Structure 1
Amino acid sequence: MKWLLPGDPSMQYPNKLTPLDFDGWIQERGLYFTGDVDSHYRKLFEMHDKGSGPLDGSTIVCDYGKGKYVYSSLDFFRELPAGVPGAFRLFVNLLAKPATADK
């Protein structure tokens, strides 16, 4: 797991995320990562399995109007029922409105 944009608002608000938030994730972290992405999107992570090349399309975010558009192929459907704290923290951040009033 490599953080591409640790200072991104989606990584900072309302929860300041750290690499420890990915500890305890069960099974695979995600499936069906996106490939080509429009330059308006920000790629938050890069990850790979042993013996595979890096993939950076697991979670992408784009500001849109007063909100944002998020695509994530992380397996929240496994992590949230398992009670993984970091998954809850990231999920809330991805849903949260921007921290500044002018966005």
Structure 2
Amino acid sequence: MLALDILRWPGVNQAFLFSFVLTTAMSLVVIPVGKRRKFDRKATWGEAMIAAAYIFLVLFLAFGVVPHQFIDHADKELGWRKDKLVYGPFDILKSDTVGGSFPI
């Protein structure tokens, strides 16, 4: 029996991972479909509408769902919030206005 449950580990967020993998897979499916199509063949109205709906769904996932799931995961499970600033190792990126040595 393992002492580490991989599905409850803080780095695993199933919603983020699923949306990221789905978006990547949907984006990569376009390449073989585009290569299979003849260059001089024009798209029909139905093909254009299906392609537009597909691309809308991919862009909605890529720019809406995936960032939301990552921000939700970083805030709740990883504890990366606005009040917990990370200035790098030994605070090398801490601004001189807040007591550091990094000039801004």
TM-score by length of 2: 0.25
Pick the structure with more helix per residue: 2
Q: Which has the higher contact order (CA 8 A, sep 6+)?
A: 1
Pick the structure with more strand per residue: 1
TM-score by length of 1: 0.25
